[in-house]
Chains A and B, each alone.
Chain A
Amino acid sequence: MIVRTVVFAVLLLTVAVIETSVLPFLPVPGLTPDLLLLITMAVALKDGPQAGLRVGFSAGLLADLLVAQAPLGSATLVLTSIGGIVGTARPYLASQSITAPLVLAFLTGAIGTAAYGSLSLLLGEDRVTWELLATSALRVGLFNTLLAPVALVGIGRLVARFPMGSGGGEP
């Protein structure tokens, strides 16, 4: 259990650094996926709500610490909710389906980004406009869908190598 926790902590830190330091410098214009959200979705889909909640909370807290202006806790709230919702919905999805995870990646990317932006807007961040909210949500949803197969395969191998302990959250 401790090894799994350490592995996922290192994974989240690496993903956060890649998102802020690597993707902006790649020669792909407008490349703005939300990798932390994608990881949260993939873990919740593979391991259920309890793992999704934990990873979502940690990923959200990390994202909150790396932004300067939005209230700390906004991303935590959104990613924890995404992890919980996807994990809870897991038994209702066809386990061998290829399209379901892709659709889920698009929906979580778009809805998560829109929810984060709306929350910022409600908390007085007037730099967020509805137009920006819509374009960002669509763009993140699209890029997350493109990267979903890689994330799902990678997370699948990781959770198989480091399964949850006996007190895990298998529904």
Chain B
Amino acid sequence: MYQRRRIRILIGILLFVALLLITLDVRGGGDGVLDRLRGTATGVLQPVQDGFSTLVRPLGTATDGVRELFSLRSDNAELRERVEDLEERRRVVADLERENRELQGLLDLEERLQFETVAARTVALAPSSFEWTITIDVGSNDGVARDMPVIAGPGLVGRVIQVTPSAARVLLAIDPNFSAASRAARTGEIGSISGRGSDPMLLQPLEPGADIQRGDEIVTSSFAGGVFPGGIPIGVVADEGDTTARLTRSITVLPYVDFTRLHHVLVVLSAPVEPVPPLEGTPGIPFEPPPISPDQDDTDDMDDTDDTDEAPEDPAPPEDLGNADDGSSP
């Protein structure tokens, strides 16, 4: 009898503590005491996880090697690697050519793609089946900060969501909580792309009738002050979606990165692109709204606006806003 009572009391206490933790964490948002506790746990366990994964990784690699030897896949793998390399070059060249036309030679393309990065190894994956994150072996001591983009050879991997001095946790691009500004490399049409777990990613273009076709490459965009530098390949359009009688259009995108085989990644240390301030608020640039003539109707106003050449001396337009001009050129 005494034992049963004791067990009931223990059940009550432990379940109460668990519910209390849930309440505190949900109410504390993302920067509470419990979140810092998680960061500390990650920092403490990271060296051990690193050691274990270093011990196990050769086993997996050796098994893969033997398997490939017996199935005579080595030649095939080499050829595929070459094809992938050539495909990647083709994609990069196509995107660079489009940007070159858009920016009319104002930006040096090579300089745009030379990110300052730090290399990292994946040391742990999320223990839950419901979140797509990885832990990497670089942290704030290496210059890593929250929201920095993470890339691998084929393209975008995700962004940093938690940093400790020697480790960081990365939210993968396929996690449903992930979203990023993006654009089509061929036409420059912009939109928002988000993850859907094990399903292909979802792209929602800003303009539902945007010219985006199956096979188009999708890259990141720095539009609207997004955290990612523009031009990082994300994936390829698998289904262009229904364009008729819809206010929004959903396009499925297959990511380039194989998220099940992430061993080495690069963290882009470049600061996120600052949002462009509104013209009215810019000191030193006088801004006056255009006069509205009361004796002209709306149609005339629009025509006048189109024909006038009195545009203010704008600073260079943001990268993606230049797409509209480019789209009208042959």
Flag the segment in B78-86, B93-101, B120-128 that touches A.
Answer: B120-128
Q: Is the CB of B49 within 8 A of A123?
A: no
Cβ 8 A contact of A73, one of B20, B60, B67, B176 = B20
Contact residues, A19-49 vs B (CB, 8 A) = 19-22, 24-27, 32, 36, 49
Instruction: Contact check, A20 vs B60: say whether CB atoms are below 8 A apart.
Output: no
- Name the contact of A50 in the complex, choosing from B6, B21, B45, B131 (C-beta under 8 A): B6
B277 to chain A, nearest CB (A): 33
Q: A53-B10, A65-B37, A84-B11 in contact; A127/B130 too (CB < 8 A)?
A: yes
Query: What's the least CB distance linking A30 to chain B, in Å?
Result: 9
**A154 within 8 Å of B by Cβ?**
no
Beyond A57-B18, A80-B15, is A26–B60 a contact (Cβ under 8 Å)?
A: yes
The answer to whether A70 touches B161 (Cβ under 8 A) is: no
A72 to B24, CA, bound (A): 8
Contact A81 B15, beta carbon cutoff 8 Å: yes
A111 interface residue, CB < 8 Å from B?
no
Q: With a CB–CB cut-off of 8 A, which chain A residues contact B17? A: 57, 73, 76
- Segment at the A interface, from B51-59, B103-111, B182-190, B309-317: B51-59
Q: Is the CB of A22 within 8 A of B131?
A: no
Knowing A21-B49, A21-B56 touch, does A64 contact B161 (C-beta < 8 A)?
Answer: no
B15 touches A127 (CB 8 A): no
Complex contact B59–A26 (CB within 8 A) = yes
**For chain A residues 49-71, which have a beta carbon within 8 Å of chain B?**
49-50, 53-54, 56-57, 60, 63-71
Known A71-B22, A84-B11: A16·B169 in contact at CB below 8 Å: no
Is B133 at the interface (CB under 8 A from chain A)? Answer: yes
Closest to A65 in B: B41
Q: Give A20 to B127 CA distance when docked, in angstroms.
A: 6
**Does B162 lie at the interface of the complex (its beta carbon under 8 Å from any beta carbon of A)?**
yes
B128 contacts which of A50, A56, A70 (Cβ < 8 Å)?
A: A70
B64 in the interface, Cβ–Cβ < 8 Å? yes
Q: Does B3 contact A (CB under 8 A)?
A: yes
* Smallest CB separation, B25 vs chain A (Å): 4
Q: Are B25 and A72 in contact (CB under 8 A)?
A: yes
Q: CA separation between A88 and B50, bound complex, in Å?
A: 38
Given contact pairs A21-B124, A60-B18, A73 touches B197 in the complex (Cβ within 8 A): no
- A84 CA / B8 CA spacing, docked (Å): 10
- Is B206 part of the contact surface with A, judged by Cβ < 8 Å? no
> Which of A1-9, A98-106, A128-136, A144-152 contacts its partner?
A128-136
Q: A21-B53, A22-B52 are in contact. Are A120 and B21 (CB under 8 A)?
A: no
Check B130–A71 contact: CB distance below 8 A.
no
A67-B126 in contact (CB<8A): yes
Say yes or no: is A169 at the interface (Cβ < 8 Å to chain B).
Answer: yes
B14 interface contact, C-beta 8 A? yes
Residues of B within 8 A of A17 (CB): 45, 48-49, 52
Does B224 touch A at the CB level, under 8 Å? no
28 residue pairs A–B, Cβ–Cβ below 8 Å: A17-B48, A17-B49, A19-B127, A21-B53, A22-B56, A26-B56, A26-B59, A26-B60, A53-B11, A60-B18, A63-B127, A64-B21, A66-B124, A66-B126, A67-B127, A67-B131, A68-B126, A68-B161, A70-B131, A72-B37, A73-B17, A73-B25, A77-B15, A84-B7, A116-B130, A127-B197, A129-B197, A171-B7
Q: Please provide the 8 A-B residue pairs with the shortest distance between their CB atoms, ordered closest to farther.
A: A73-B21, A127-B176, A73-B22, A136-B129, A65-B41, A77-B18, A21-B49, A72-B25
**Chain A interface residues toward B at CB < 8 A:** 13, 16-22, 24-27, 32, 36, 49-50, 53-54, 56-57, 60, 63-74, 76-77, 80-81, 84, 88, 113, 116-117, 120, 123-129, 132, 136, 139-140, 169-171
